[in-house]
Chains A and B, each alone.
Chain A
Amino acid sequence: MNWLTRVARPKLKGILSKRDTPDNLWHKCRSCGEMVFHRDLVAARNVCPSCDYHMRLSPKERFEAVFDGGEYDEIELPDVAQDPLKFRDEKKYTDKLKTARTKTEQKDAVLVAVGALRGIETVVSVQNFAFMGGSLGMAAGEAIIRGAEEAVARKAPYVVFAAAGGARMQEGILSLMQLPRTTIAVEMVKEAGLPYVVVLTDPTTGGVTASYAMLGDVHIAEPGALIGFAGPRVIEQTIREKLPEGFQRAEYLLDHGMVDMVVHRHDLRDTLARVINLLVKKNTWTVSTGAPVENAASEDGQAGITASDAGNLPARLDAGSTGPAEILPPNKSNTKSQMD
């Protein structure tokens, strides 16, 4: 179908089967040092079961974690000029790209997919830190723009999972130009009246934060994520001081008003769904008929509305609810999820 499935898939299978040896069935948590069984880690979406440390996730793992039933369609991304500056340091840039592609089986740092999030069609872009530090080059910039265009065309909310160490230096000024370009992408989504939600993951620093990652309608950060414009090392070198504990971490940004919430990865899908729901399904309020409202539990075990609430409040249906369809505004009822 796309570049990956055509080229990289067979190769990867070989690597995976080799990797599946007892030595690699355990991962050491970078934070607490605990050995975690591989399968448990995958089930916990790479959150350490003993200390809650949020390890990095690949875009595919993100898509699976976010979309209803883990189902989505990847959106084909435009090709960009390869190595326009003919850049080389110790290695040629084209060789670095090759290595990153083999390692991640991605063409560049950002993947885009569309799928249902609690029944609401949503476009999601995910930046992969494993691909040259998630750096924002022309391909990543085009991917963010492509995602925005797709969201506008489908009248769908746009969610971006940001993760980057900074600019793609090998693309020089063309990398910097992705700041205004992705900012335009955000403007297009907002002008279309669609929600634009940013999830800041570890780490999100540099130019990415000075553009689309800080222009969300709602900012959600994962616990402990490093988020900032200047990297901690640069700041330390400039001010010649040690940085305070927790500086530029998600919780610090929450305290300083830069993000709306810090959300545990296991609650992320629910939170995203709820925020988007509140922003797009503006008319699910209805006068209570006195009929009992079912406890609309999602597959994640999160309750939408409880029967006791229904007694004194007008019944409010969340998108995952199995409540009577006639209460939903007629124009929205068709987006109700079958996957939840």
Chain B
Amino acid sequence: MKPPYNAPSQPMRTYLDFEKPIAELEGQAEELRQKSHTLESEGQPIDVAEEIARLEGKAATLLSDTYQKLTPWQKTQVARHPARPHFSNYVDHLIEDFTPLAGDRNFANDQAILGGLGRFNGRSVVVIGHEKGSDTQSRVIHNFGMARPEGYRKAVRLMSLAERFDLPVITLVDTAGAYPGIGAEERGQAEAIARSTDVCLRLGVPIISIVIGEGGSGGALALAAANRVFMLEHSIYAVISPEGCASILWPGSDGAKTQDAATAMKITAQDLENLKIIDGIITEPIGGAHRDPDTIMADMGATIERALKELEGKSPEILRQERRAKFLAIGREGLG
């Protein structure tokens, strides 16, 4: 049996701005429950079950309504939710015998991109992905999921290993983007991303990518030039962050245009499916992946299994050709 998902150590549920009304209802229900416990221990039991159920029902309806019509900016916030399951959570749940491999054999072990060998539904695979971290300490260790060149070079190394042993590659994408720093530039951030993309595209084994949170520009794409690309329902994938886009196109707008930028750029999973850029969307539990991690893990596992079944047995040449054809077709068809 696989271990249950361990929720990131959040003492309290984190609510996003737009979830305030939900937070209030859920808070009231919780308060009532606490109060009834206190009264019960003092020998004055009261029946609050009905009221709690009413509040919780109302909260659930509101949550469902809200999540059915999230704006692109709201989705961005969900995609960045601190309690959202990250790479390590998926690996814990979906991959057996996970054996992390470290380093680019050149300069460092970039912890913003993790990867290694493991077993997915019985078969050996190479798993690679961005890890954002789940608390202050681990976020610093993982540099908030923003990789330096060494991260991409580690990915290249692991993909080459996969190719040598004919193992499928699974990548999980979750980054605000590649890290913009002096050292990163000095050591060839651009080249590292280009090379990683190039290696993805030339792989003679199946590669499947899933955007699990943020797909931030080249830093995301470097792991996502895959035979199949999926997105979680509330994840985003964009050429630049909404904040970055707003600051360039509306200089001096000081954040006021971020929502407009998020909408204008078409960054949601639904937008990308319409633009024929991704192969499918993995539906999230109501309220987002973090509200029911076990369900999202199971659904993601099923999606990966289906995709691998479709690709297994294809020759390296066919896998390459199909991957190329898929990317070359983007923008040529179905844009009106």
Contact = CB atoms under 8 A, between A and B. Distances in A.
Q: Do A and B come from one complex?
A: yes
Interface of A: 80-81, 84-85, 87-90, 138, 141-142, 145, 166-167, 169, 171-177, 179-181, 183-184, 186-187, 206-207, 209-215, 228-231, 234-235, 238-239, 241, 243-244, 247-248, 256-258
Contact of B266 (A173, A179, A183, A257): A173
A241 B182 CA distance: 10
Contact of A239 (B181, B237, B267, B327): B181
Contacts of A180: 197, 200-201, 221, 225, 327
Contact of B185 (A171, A207, A214, A248): A248
Contacts of B187: 256
A184 B218 CA distance: 15
B319 interface: no
Nearest to B265: A172
B320 to A, nearest CB: 9
A325 B193 CA distance: 46
Interface in B204-230: 217-218, 221-222, 225
Contacts of A210: 189-190, 193-194, 197, 218, 221-222
Contact of A234 (B180, B190, B239): B180
B330 A176 contact: no
Interface of B: 178-182, 184-191, 193-195, 197-198, 200-202, 217-218, 221-222, 225, 237-240, 244-245, 248-250, 257, 260-261, 264-267, 271-272, 275, 277, 324, 327-328, 330-331, 335-336
27 contacts: A81-B331, A81-B336, A84-B331, A84-B335, A85-B264, A89-B250, A89-B264, A90-B249, A172-B266, A173-B239, A176-B217, A176-B221, A184-B324, A186-B198, A187-B201, A207-B217, A209-B191, A210-B189, A210-B194, A210-B197, A214-B195, A215-B194, A229-B178, A229-B185, A229-B218, A244-B182, A258-B191
Given A187-B202, A207-B217, A214 B191 contact: yes
Nearest to B177: A230
Contacts of B185: 228-230, 235, 247-248
Contacts of A80: 331
A176 B194 contact: no
Contacts of B218: 176, 179, 206-207, 210-211, 229
B238 A174 contact: no
B250 A90 contact: yes
Nearest to A185: B328
Given A172-B239, A235-B185, A179 B180 contact: no
A172 B249 CA distance: 13
A215 B198 CA distance: 9
Contact of B201 (A142, A183, A214, A238): A183
Given A84-B336, A169-B245, A169-B249, 5 more contacts: A84-B275, A210-B190, A228-B185, A230-B178, A234-B180
B265 A169 contact: yes
A243 B328 CA distance: 38
A206 B238 CA distance: 14
B240 A167 contact: yes
In order of increasing CB-CB distance, the 8 nearest A-B pairs are A230-B180, A209-B190, A229-B190, A81-B335, A176-B239, A210-B218, A210-B193, A172-B265
Contacts of A85: 264-266
A228 B183 CA distance: 12
A179 B221 contact: yes
B335 to A, nearest CB: 4
A230 B189 contact: yes
B239 A256 contact: no
- Give the most central of A88, A89, A229, A234: most B CB within 10 Å: A229
Nearest to A181: B327
A247 B185 CA distance: 9
Contacts of A212: 194
B3 to A, nearest CB: 36
Contacts of B266: 85, 172-173
Contact of B267 (A173, A181, A211, A257): A173
B330 A177 contact: yes
Contacts of B200: 180
B105 to A, nearest CB: 16
Contacts of A247: 182, 185
A183 B331 contact: no
